[in-house]
Amino acid sequence: MKKIILSLSFLLSVGIGSSGLIGQCNSDNFSNACIPKLAGGFNFLKSYKIDGEGGSKEKVEYSYVFTKGTQYMINICANGQATDGIVVTLFDSGRNKVASSKINGQFIAAIAYPCNATGIYYIQYTFDGSASHCGGSALGFKR
Amino acid sequence: MRILAVGLIAAILTACGSGKKPDEQAFLNSLDSAKSQGPSIDEEVINSILQQIPSPLEISVLLKQSGTKYNSAILNSPDNLSKYNSNYKKALNLGIYGTDLGYTNIYQQNQDGIKYLSAIKSLADGLNIGQFFDVETIGRLANNSKNLDSLLLITTQNFNTINHYLQSQSRANLSVLLLTGGWLEAMQVTCQVAAHNPKNQDLRETIGAQKIILEQIVLLLTFYKGDENMASLLKDMDGLKATFDKIKITYTYKESTMEVVNGVSMIKDNSTTTIDITDQDIAAIKDLTNSIRNKITS
């Protein structure tokens, strides 16, 4: 019986190890945690995973059509209270920088963007001295 | 005891081997009849375009804030549910009913909302994605007007989960139909409302700005033109795009200014867009949208 239990324990540990559950970026948890952190009055639209794959990815990018007259909020959640060096930068369709969560060297956990020009925008997450390269984000809107 | 141990090992190995839950397999099997010629482009590209299509909820909020009264007559009646027997029609009308549910939620018309919820659940079950629609919770929240925020949140989350699931199962074609249906319904509702408020600049610009989204939808449909149904829808949407092509959108970039207020980076967007759209453009878009939408809902 002891042999069977030992064999089972071995099988389970090998299974868990090879499926990569240990040490992986659980960005789903971070993005879900970000949703209730959207400021009051903002309606949830999308959640985004930020997985820098342990530093092998320089950026994670999504896109969304923002509409003139609508205010959007994008926040960042990571390990601890701060953003763990994760920066969100917004670019317009011509790749002009429109907004950033890093201002004067300060990492800010959310940006509020009252859109004045309808179009496709790129929501880009980068890692500036990040320890885990892992986080989540939520996008909300209000009019 | 030995039997128990062997059974446990077998269960673990089976679970590791297939990687699919029974409901996922049922879902895949059920769509075999609807298998279309696969897209000729990377699925990652399709998914990245899909996720940029804005939520129809944004338009419903605009309509309410513009002072427009609730009008159930402009929505697709839940009574039409029995007409939707193919996966193609189910997916398109799931999107349409999703927009209608958002509209009833925003206006807090709970009795109508419950009917749409039931229709949505039925269509989602028909596509074997009903497990992602939490009807019980949504129904409970819909019965109390104080729960509007939670209601909108859960509904949006459920639709996001469905879209992610479809994309992860290489069934983005259904996701494209769902989003196309949702967009068409939002367009149809906006055009109907704009017809009664011809001077409302916000509504006019909202209609004109849909040119950007329609271009993305047409692009998505192009990837699936090997499928007969998708090709037919693409033809209709191409016709609508031709009408939108007359609208001129001028974008002027000017660097934004930013400041930190209460821990939030507040942006002042100095860029602008101007949208040149005529009464004739709006009338033509309204007629064509209505015609395409009627083909889908009838």
pLDDT digits (tens, 9 = 90+) for B121-165: 999 999 999 999 888 888 888 887 778 888 899 999 999 999 999
Rounded distance between C-alpha atoms, residue B235 and residue B226, angstroms: 12
Residue type for position A124: Q
How sure is the predictor about A8, in pLDDT bands with cuts at 50, 70 and 90? very low
| Binding-face residues of A in 18-57 toward B, CB within 8 A | 35, 39, 43-47
pLDDT digits (tens, 9 = 90+) for B189-205: 999 999 999 999 999 99
pLDDT digits (tens, 9 = 90+) for A28-44: 999 999 999 999 999 99
Is the pLDDT at B44 greater than 90? The verdict is no
Structure tokens at B12: 């673990």
Closest-CA distance, B189 to chain A, in angstroms, reads: 17
Rounded distance between C-alpha atoms, residue A130 and residue A30, angstroms: 15
Give me the pLDDT at residue B172, please: 92
Structure tokens at B85: 């027997």
How sure is the predictor about B176, in pLDDT bands with cuts at 50, 70 and 90? very high
Give me the pLDDT at residue B43, please: 81
Is the pLDDT at A81 greater than 70? The verdict is no
pTM above 0.90, yes or no: no
Give me the pLDDT at residue B117, please: 92
Give me the pLDDT at residue B243, please: 97
Percent of chain B topping pLDDT 90: 74
Domain segments of chain A: what residues?
25-142
How sure is the predictor about B19, in pLDDT bands with cuts at 50, 70 and 90? very low
Mean pLDDT of B81-93: 97
Place of tokens 């629609």: B133
Inspect the interface and report whether the beta carbons of A92 and B61 lie closer than 8 Å: no
pLDDT digits (tens, 9 = 90+) for B254-297: 999 999 999 999 999 999 999 999 999 999 999 999 999 999 99
Q: B263 in helix, strand or coil?
A: coil
Inspect the interface and report whether the beta carbons of A117 and B58 lie closer than 8 Å: no
Structure tokens at B240: 């609508």
| Binding-face residues of A in 76-105 toward B, CB within 8 A | 90, 92-94, 96-101, 103
Is the pLDDT at B85 greater than 80? The verdict is yes
Give me the pLDDT at residue A114, please: 97
Inspect the interface and report whether the beta carbons of A143 and B260 lie closer than 8 Å: no
Query: With contacts defined as CB-CB under 8 Å, which chain A residues touch B55?
Result: 45
How sure is the predictor about B39, in pLDDT bands with cuts at 50, 70 and 90? low
Is the pLDDT at A20 greater than 50? The verdict is no
Give me the pLDDT at residue A3, please: 52
Place of tokens 């149809």: B188
CATH node for A25-142: 2.60.120
Closest-CA distance, A116 to chain B, in angstroms, reads: 6
Least confident of A56-60, A96-100, A123-127, B21-25: B21-25
Mean pLDDT of B20-47: 55
Rounded distance between C-alpha atoms, residue B65 and residue B69, angstroms: 10
Residues 6+ apart with CB under 8 A from A43: A140, A141, A142, B57, B61, B149, B152, B153, B156
Q: A81 in helix, strand or coil?
A: coil
List helix spans (H) across chain B.
2-18, 22-30, 43-50, 57-65, 87-106, 110-126, 135-142, 148-168, 172-196, 201-222, 228-244, 279-297
Nearest to B51 among A7, A11, A62 (CB): A62
